[in-house]
Amino acid sequence: GNETASKGGKNGAKGGGDGAGAFDMSEMSRRLRSKKSGGGSGTNLSGKGDAADATPPEKAPAKKTKAKVKRVWSDTKGNAKDLDFSEGAPPEGEEVVKRVDISAPSRVDVEDEESESEEEGEEEGEGQVAQMVAGGGLVAHTKKKKSKNSWLSAVLASSLVRNVVGKSALEREDLEPILEKLKTNFMNKNVAEDIAERLCESVAASLQGRKLASFSSLSSMVKTAMEEALTRILTPKRSIDILRDVRAAREAGRPYTIVFVGVNGVGKSTNLSKVAYWLLQHKVSVMIAACDTFRAGAVEQLRTHCNALDVKLFERGYEKDPANVATEAIKAAQREGKDVVLVDTAGRMQDNEPLMRALSKLINNNDPDLVLFVGEALVGNEAVDQLSKFNERLSDLSANVNQTRLIDGIVLSKFDTVDDKVGAALSMVYTSGAPIMFVGCGQTYTDLRKLNVKSIVKILLSQ
């Protein structure tokens, strides 16, 4: 009986061992140790899944934290300190003016050299064009230039002109087509209509009765007659050499005086400063007289130019008699040994009676050596009317009836902006008889030039 019980106990223990195999503690400990070391067998505690399921998931990359950006309270993205120019600024009321280097030559002095180079270029033009065309660089430009300058030849080649060949002398009706074309072309270049008509009339009068040898001679005759007429108008009737006259006044022991007149906003003060720069280039001492006692800021504007040019400014403020200020300035310049006095006057319209009387008084009392009218090249025929009215009012208000003082010369401002509309220069000279002394062609002190008569004539005859 005991043996039977002992066998039954062993069998029961064995049967219990088989039934408790899933809960074997040693197996569980082994699996836990394998999982901690990362080398597990790939089976889970429940006995389900495969090796792929036991692979640990990849860690996501760590997000970079952005640095904190300062708040910007304006539209400026840069550093505000870079825009702060207050440090080192002058005290309130003081003005910093950069002195101009007067070593740079004025364009007035290099104009003659440029004219000579232009003439040489015209003489050698055919050879140069042939060489450039061979290289293929200026073919289109050459053709365009040829078509621009051939308008007169096209007119002369018309049937109306062809009929004059063989006539013993030219008649007015033979020249009508050419004259009409010339008049239209001049008006397109900003020449006043009545002046263009008078100019064509004078050319017609000079050609009537002339014999025509061949067709080609008609083209040459018309072109030559028109060039001569334009050159004669634009060439000064009397020679005005400012530097020569300055030397003569210096020998006489007095300063040379130039008065600048004109309407509002044409650039009198700016062109006065350009003339001062040109005089300084020629070792001429200058004093500027602020006789615009009417416009607010006029004295301060001149002071800025004087500081830049290192020139003495004579001023007595505002609401003073301009004639008396000019008289005191001339006396001060004589005491200090200055060579030239440049007198700035208030801008005034030609029909402003009180201001025109004040200008006439200034000129009559001080008898300046030169009266320059500053006009805009842009306004065209309006400048012609202004110049005519100025001369008319100065003549009417002249103190000496026997010796009327008129405009002596013209300064054309903004001449670089008119392209080929240069007719205002011709109209102003034709109307007043005064020569164009200078033309303003830029914003700097060196941008002042003499009028190149040949260039103007060439532009007027081109289309």
pLDDT-derived band at 266, boundaries 50, 70, 90: confident
Q: How far apart are CA 299 and CA 314, in angstroms?
A: 9
Length of the chain in terms of residues written? 463
Task: Give the pLDDT confidence of 376-421 residue by residue, as tens digits.
Answer: 887 777 888 888 888 888 888 876 666 678 899 999 998 888 888 8
Q: How far apart are CA 22 and CA 35, in angstroms?
A: 18
Q: Which of 128, 412, 141, 393 is nearest to 266 (CA)?
A: 412
Q: How far apart are CA 110 and CA 449, in angstroms?
A: 8
Give the 3-state secondary structure of residue 341: strand
Model confidence at 301: pLDDT above 60: yes
Amino acid at the residue 179: L
Average pLDDT over residues 44-62: 51
Q: How far apart are CA 373 and CA 326, in angstroms?
A: 17
Distances in Å between the alpha carbon of 380 and those of 37, 117, 306? Answer: 100, 30, 31
Amino acid at the residue 447: D
Q: How far apart are CA 456 and CA 422, in angstroms?
A: 7
Model confidence at 337: pLDDT above 90: yes
What is the DSSP code (8-state) at residue 137?
S
204: exposed, middle or buried (Cβ count in 10 Å: 0-12, 13-18, 19+) = buried
Give the 3-state secondary structure of residue 333: helix
Is residue 284 a contact partner of residue 340, using CB atoms and an 8 Å limit?
A: yes
Task: Give the pLDDT confidence of 181-240 residue by residue, as tens digits.
Answer: 888 989 988 888 889 999 999 988 888 887 766 555 666 777 788 899 999 999 887 778
Residue with tokens 């005064």: 434
Q: What domains, with CATH codes, occur in the chain?
A: 156-234 (1.20.120), 242-452 (3.40.50.300)
